[in-house]
Amino acid sequence: MKSFGKSPEKLFDSFNPVSTNAASIGQVHQATLGDKKLAVKVQYPGVAASISSDLKMVKPFAFRLLGINEKELNVYIKEVEERLLEETDYKLEVRRSIEFSKACSKLKNTVFPTYYPELSSDKIITMDWMEGLHLKEFLATDPSQALRNKIGQALWDFYNFQQYELKAVHADPHPGNFLITPDEKLAIIDFGCIKEIPEDFYNPFFDLIWQDLMKDKQATIDAFRKLGLLQQNDNAKQIAFYYKSYKEMISLFALPYAGKAFDFSKPDFFENIYAWSDKITKLPEFKQPRGVKHFIYINRTNFGLYMILNDLQATVNTQSFRPVSKNNSIANTKRSHAL
């Protein structure tokens, strides 16, 4: 390996040149070193340059197809480009993987591989090989409802702990990033995409979900303004339209938080979300982008989580983690939950 000035066979006791898994920007090889069984993720050449080049090529078409001016779209394009380029920085991923694994280590029924910085570089990540089944394989074993709920709860706690305690979240809830281990725990094996949640987004967004804020119309409108859902030049008619539309959307999104537990097997929950999405895409009022850039990855994270829980047909305790205070920087507190 060029990064270490020696071949894989000299770096490890054994190294399988045939990859066991492939991902969008790299492939995984099995290796051993002493008594350790390792997973070595090797990035494809030229990925970072390709990401920037592809996004640059797409932008002019997006302007014409969506009728969006360049300044409006660039805010969102830059957010996506920054996160994608971070995924190509394997040194950053190793550092974040170690930090997040340590921060989440007390979560119940959740496990993480050990990472080896000395055997990693900007294009290579070396970590423990984790035994287990991906979601599709796990579901094919016809697990009991109790086990589905157990894995679903681990997944819910993993994500909500990050959002409320760390104010930064694993923003790629793809089933391929998780394994269910032989001892029935959730293993998280990829921390490539992390989204930090700034205070000016965190406070109004989670107030809308957790508080009785939406019972107060003016407070809700104020929160919508902070989130970019309502804009400075909106007239009274537009304010009334977007207030109604976004209140409906957030009420749907926040439904799992409304009670002590939520059954993600309910088809009507997802049907209502899809119906709302289908309705607004046909309205001219939604042709222009609205909402601050942070919605891109926060929505991706939470809806991705919902979809996996739906695949699991899991019922989970949705009250396991809650924001401490909208004025407290939870990421800086040293308090930990007893799970």
Query: What CATH number is given to the structural domain containing 126?
Result: 1.10.510.10
Output 197 or 68, whichever has higher pLDDT.
197
When pLDDT is cut at 50, 70 and 90, the band that residue 136 belongs to is very high
Domain presence at residue 74: yes
Q: Does a structural domain hold residue 313?
A: no
pLDDT digits (tens, 9 = 90+) for 209-259: 887 788 899 999 999 999 999 999 999 999 999 999 999 999 999 999 988
Asked if residue 228 belongs to a domain, the reply is yes
Same domain assignment for residues 101 and 232: no
**In the chain, how many domains are there?**
3
- Looking at the fold, whether 262 and 129 belong to one and the same domain comes out as no
The number of CA neighbours under 13 Å toward the Cβ of 143 is 23
Same-domain check for residues 59 and 40: no
Judged on CB neighbours under 10 Å (0-12, 13-18, 19+), 43 is buried
Instruction: Answer yes or no: do 16 and 136 share one domain.
Output: yes
Domain co-membership, 187 together with 161: yes
Distance between CA atoms of residues 206 and 326, nearest Å: 8
249 lies in the same domain as 267: yes
Shared-domain flag, residues 155 and 122: yes
Q: Is residue 222 part of a domain?
A: yes
How many residues in total does the chain contain? 339
d(C-alpha 10, C-alpha 67), whole Å:
55
Of 17, 21, 8, which is closest to residue 121 (Cα–Cα)? 8
- Per DSSP, the three-state class of 26 is strand
Report pLDDT for 333.
35
Domain membership of residue 105 (yes or no) is yes
Closest CA to 301 of 204, 156, 166, 181: 156
Least confident residue range of 48-57, 157-166, 204-213: 48-57
Domain boundary among 195, 227, 252: 195
Helix (H) or strand (E) holding 110: strand 110-111
327: its two tokens: 């004025």
Q: What are phi and psi of 323, to 5 degrees?
A: -60, 140
DSSP state, residue 181: -
Q: Are residues 241 and 174 in the same domain?
A: no
pLDDT in tens, 291-338: 999 999 999 999 999 999 999 999 999 998 876 544 433 333 333 333
pLDDT at 325: 46
CA 6 to chain centre: 36
pLDDT in the model for residue 47? 86
Cβ(158)–Cβ(318) below 8 Å: no
> Both 140 and 215 in a single domain?
no
Classify the phi-psi angles of 289: left when phi > 0, otherwise alpha if psi is within -120 to 50, otherwise beta: beta
What's phi and psi for 235, nearest 5 deg? Answer: -85, 180
Q: Is the dihedral of CA 131, 136, 141, 146 positive or negative?
A: positive
133 and 264 housed in the same domain:
no
If asked whether residues 122 and 204 sit together in one domain, one would say no
Domain presence at residue 314? no
CB 153 within 8 A of CB 320: yes
Q: Is 115 within a domain?
A: yes
| Residue 334: per-residue pLDDT | 32
Give the chain's count of helices (H) and strands (E): 11, 12
Sign of the C-alpha dihedral, residues 99, 102, 107, 110? Answer: positive
Closest CA to 224 of 131, 134, 290: 290
φ, ψ at 255 (rounded to 5°)? -55, -40
Task: Please give the residue range of the domain that contains residue 231.
Answer: 198-293
**Placement of tokens 């042709």 in the chain:** 287
- Are both 15 and 109 inside the same structural domain? yes
Average pLDDT value for residue range 6-11? 86
The mean of the pLDDT values for the chain is: 88
Which burial class, exposed, middle or buried, applies to 334 when counting CB atoms under 10 A from its CB (0-12, 13-18, 19+)?
exposed
Residue 261: pLDDT over 80: yes
How many CB atoms are located within 10 Å of the residue 14 CB?
12
Residue 317 lies inside a defined structural domain of this protein = no
| Residues pairing with 263 in the sheet | 315
